[in-house]
Structure 1
Amino acid sequence: MQLNQQELQNLRHLIGSHETTEKKLNFYAQQCQDPQVKQLLQQSAQAASQTRQKLLSFLS
């Protein structure tokens, strides 16, 4: 599958956004005192990581 320049740019933007989201959610989870909220943040960070990995697979 060949991506055009616009698609490639959009894909890179999405990958970067998911990476930023993952880092922020992990940071918030580290600061969190409530175990339920902490778990939710960690799960959301993991989901962002999985989506980022899936998006990265389109680059290969």
Structure 2
Amino acid sequence: MSNLNLVELQNLRHLIGAHETVANKLDDYANQCTDQNLVQMLHADAQEARTAKQTLLTFLK
């Protein structure tokens, strides 16, 4: 793990959780939409949030 202090570690965990929450919400919204353009946009944004989460997870190694 990187040399993170406690505050930085807590902030990183918060950001990781927030990105996962956003991704799940965007997927849920997409599943409720009927407009295919909006569905694609929401799924793409959810994937970007998951990618950002994975990037943040690398700081824990």
TM-score if structure 2 supplies the norm length? 0.95
TM-score if structure 1 supplies the norm length? 0.97
Per the TM alignment, residue 48 of structure 1 is displaced from its structure 2 partner at its CA by 0.1
Unaligned runs of 5+ in 2: none
Q: How many residues align?
A: 60
Partner of 2:43: 42
1:2 aligns with 2:3: yes
User: What does 1:22-37 align with in structure 2 at a 5 Å threshold?
Assistant: 22-37=23-38
Unaligned runs of 5+ in 1: none
Residue identity (%): 53
Separation in 1, partners of 2:50, 2:33: 20
